[in-house]
A and B are shown apart, each in its own frame.
Chain A
């Protein structure tokens, strides 16, 4: 079996049972950061320099969505010899964190499966594979509920 490796280390859990994005929270003002922030707080009214890691919400609502009708250029990794199949990109609003996070939808999910305001969950997925490694990432999947 190929070795599994997160496309960016430390951005999500490696536990498939409770898969979550990992962010950090400023211990001084409570602002949440994804991608994680570990050095200084970006809130201009806060001088915080200490952060705790937290799991972001496992569900959110669709803020918007689109797809990639054309193959994105490098550094996106794809095989130019394989016919291009568009993937869907979702912008998801996380209520508790007060932020919008982008991600690809699970393979097979098209723009016709989504509407603004619909609920999605975050699930583990594969971004690309090399000869000896699988690079993992996060994906979004509709739950069927409308928020």
Chain B
């Protein structure tokens, strides 16, 4: 992609992750106001509001864009609301970006917020045998960690990973999260702490699996022309990949109980997760060798290792070596989850992909404090959710 199709991240803001017991709208407004203040803008300057939906907070959650716009005070701004599971935040960013690049608006606010239940995510209520999300719980008792456990076990049986490798990811991300004021868990963990936690989905233990959290994140996006009057060295979004899988999708994914069949058509060489990053690299005209850091969706510790390979930072089965060598530490060659990742945040579904972009924005501006990655110029995000949703965003400076 050429430079003229970039948009600028003018402001970033978050509400700290936690279990605060309040309405998601409150969190979203706090994050939105922080992003507006960071951008040096007034709410009334915003021409378009893109909300990322939450499905666990009733009707206001399904129309998040309008909910936030109304809470901030109706101004006549246009709105959209997106639901794309864990990629909802990226879809909202994609909507705002498309409107800016089409010249329809100059400046947009993107907000995602959630108030999450405790424990396992469960499907929406009622008997629905036609809904794969209902079927996998009812017929198999397959929770989200079931799938994380399946992927983790393959790393052990195929690549010689150990449960200690997985625990090392937790130790690293917990150390990074200590320095992040928006992280939920600011506590150092040892390998022994992880090993002492109960098994949730063998080989993964409780400390290997991310919690569910309340939290909110927001960004102000604008055209380069709009930004030029306000900043001389802007952080830019150079790619937003929200591609879907290609048929036949050969990896078992939430919430399915079977993959597509490759009896008639051979699967693509790139897995779905790898194709998300591939499309982002293509769009930005960059490659893994250009990255300063990566924020990936560590729903489990082992999944962070899968993502490192999906981003083509190393070959299949080589991520453990990068980890063991310290390459993915904040001080390493390719820091992964300098924010502390989901391990330190817990997942606030519609906010999480936006939070990844906030982190990259602060890192690229040199505002990340004790977790700052030296000389950060290019960052990538990656996430995946249910039903063929995923995203990868490249941010540059």
Interface residues of A in 23-59 (CB under 8 A from B): 25-26, 29-35, 42-46
Consensus secondary structure, chain A interface: loop
Pairwise interchain contact B247-A42, C-beta atoms closer than 8 A? yes
Chain A residues with CB under 8 Å of B136's CB are 102
A122 at the interface (CB under 8 A from B): no
B146, A74: Cβ atoms under 8 Å? no
A30 CB contacts on chain B under 8 angstroms = 263-264
Indicate if B257 sits at the interface (CB-CB under 8 A). Answer: yes
Number of A-B residue pairs having CB atoms within 8 Å of each other in the complex: 147
Bound form: Cα–Cα A76–B197 in Å: 24
Partner of B149, one of A42, A66, A137: A66
CA distance A45 to B251 in the complex (A): 20
**B199: A residues at CB distance < 8 A:** 67, 69, 86
Q: What residues of chain B lie closer than 8 Å to A127, measured between beta carbons?
A: 139
CA distance A8 to B149 in the complex (A): 25
Contact among A63, A67, A77 with B252 in the assembled complex (CB-CB below 8 Å): A63
- Asked whether A102 and B252 contact (CB < 8 A) given A44-B247, A91-B150, the answer is yes
> Are B139 and A100 touching (Cβ within 8 A)?
no
Provide the residues of chain A in CB contact with B264, threshold 8 Å. Answer: 26, 29-31, 43, 46
Closest to A48 in B: B264
With a CB–CB cut-off of 8 A, which chain B residues contact A75? 122-123, 127, 134, 137-138
Complex contact A98–B262 (CB within 8 A): yes
Is B331 part of the contact surface with A, judged by Cβ < 8 Å?
no
- Asked if B389 is at the interface (CB within 8 A of a chain A CB), the reply is no
Is B60's CB within 8 Å of the partner chain A? no
In the complex the two chains form, what is the Cα distance from A68 to B199 in whole Å? 8
* Contact (Cβ within 8 A) B150 A65: yes
Query: B198: CB under 8 A from chain A?
Result: yes
Knowing A43-B247, A97-B263, A98-B262, say if A69 contacts B141 (CB, 8 Å): no
Asked if B261 is at the interface of the complex by the 8 Å CB criterion, the answer is yes
Do B252 and A91 touch (CB < 8 A)? yes
Bound CA–CA A137/B138 (angstroms): 11
Contact with B along A97-119 (1 / 0, CB 8 A): 11111111000000100011100
Instruction: Select A73's contact among B120, B200, B247, beta carbons within 8 Å.
Output: B120
Is B14 in the interface zone, CB < 8 Å from A? no
Residues of A close to B139: CB separation below 8 A = 7-8, 127, 137
- Select from chain B the residue with minimum beta-carbon distance to A99: B261
Specify which chain A residues have a CB less than 8 angstroms from the CB of B142 in the assembled complex.
72, 89, 102
Interface size in chain A (residues, C-beta < 8 A): 50
Residues in chain A near residue B198, CB distance under 8 A: 69-70
Measured between beta carbons, the chain A residues less than 8 angstroms from B102 are none
Quick check: A98 and B263 within 8 Å, CB to CB? yes
B197 to chain A, nearest CB (A): 10
Instruction: Choose among B135, B138, B201, B247 the residue that contacts A66 (Cβ–Cβ < 8 A).
Output: B201
Is A13 located at the chain interface by the 8 A CB criterion? no
C-alpha gap A116/B203 in the complex (Å) = 13
B155 to A, closest residue via Cβ: A64
Q: Taking the complex as formed, is A19 at the interface, i.e. its CB lies under 8 A from any CB of chain B? A: no
Which residues of chain A come closer than 8 Å to B123, judged between CB atoms? 75
CA distance A74 to B146 in the complex (A): 15
B317 → chain A, closest Cβ, in Å? 13
Say if the beta carbon of B154 comes within 8 Å of chain A: yes
In the bound complex, what is the Cα–Cα distance between A97 and B259 (angstroms)?
Answer: 10
Q: Nearest chain A CB to B138's CB is how many angstroms away?
A: 4
Looking across the interface, which residue of chain B has its beta carbon closest to that of A110?
Answer: B202
Do B259 and A100 touch (CB < 8 A)? yes
Q: Cβ of A73 and Cβ of B262 under 8 Å apart?
A: no
CB pair A64 B258 closer than 8 Å: no
Q: Is B315 an interface residue (CB 8 A)?
A: no
User: Which of B119, B257, B263 is the one whose CB lies under 8 Å from A32?
Assistant: B263
Q: Which residues in A have their C-beta under 8 angstroms from that of B251?
A: 100
**What are 11 A-B contacts with C-beta separation under 8 Å?**
A26-B264, A31-B261, A63-B252, A64-B151, A66-B204, A72-B141, A98-B263, A99-B262, A116-B153, A116-B158, A137-B139
Q: Which residues of A contact B (CB under 8 A)?
A: 7-8, 25-26, 29-35, 42-46, 63-70, 72-78, 86-87, 89, 91, 96-104, 111, 115-117, 127, 137
Other than A31-B265, A45-B265, A73-B137, give 5 A-B pairs with Cβ distance below 8 A.
A33-B261, A68-B143, A89-B142, A96-B263, A100-B259
